[in-house]
Structure 1
Amino acid sequence: MLARVPLCVQCGTTQNPCRCKVVGPTLAFLAFVIAAVVEWPVGALVYPFRHIKGRRIMSHPVSVVYPRVSSAVPF
């Protein structure tokens, strides 16, 4: 059985001459998954006691990790 590597493609960007990004969004997706595996259970444990803090912890992979990693790699 062959292992599949997730590939994410973002077209229409102005960060490079090809106007498509593959490496940045793919690395960002992998970083998002790793951060989510750690932060979502922690956020779920914090949420019953501190609602706003729990929501902020659970939204961190989406709002901070993915955009920073995706924009850091221009291709």
Structure 2
Amino acid sequence: MTCVPICIQCGTTSNPCRCKVLGPTLGFLAFAAAAVVEWPLGAVVFLFKRPKGRRIMGHPATVVYPRVIHAIPI
């Protein structure tokens, strides 16, 4: 049995029903896909340049997830 992650964000003002399902769910999937690539790469860069490695590892949470959530209002 496969489990599909569904994320719900309530209390938003971006739509009339004040709940978002599609945006946070796609945001989570985009976050996970970016993290699979960027976290190992960031860990290798972290060994040589710590600030740059931290920025790379934080990119999915600080850039990818918020952009996807705000792009989809439902």
Sort the TM-score into its range (normalised by shorter chain): over 0.9
Identity of paired residues, percent? 68
- Which residue identity lines up with residue 20 of structure 2 in the other structure? K
Question: Structure 2 length normalisation: TM-score?
Answer: 0.98
Question: Structure 1 length normalisation: TM-score?
Answer: 0.97
Report runs of 4+ in structure 1 exceeding 3 Å deviation: none
Q: Partners of 1:28 and 1:19 in 2: how far apart?
A: 18
Q: How many aligned positions are there?
A: 74
Q: Deviations over 1:8-50 (max 9, x none)?
A: 0000000000000000000000000000000000000000100
Partner residue, 1:24: 23
Structure 2 segments unaligned to the other structure (5+ residues) = none
- Structural RMSD (CA): 0.4
Q: Partners of 1:16 and 1:10 in 2: how far apart?
A: 12
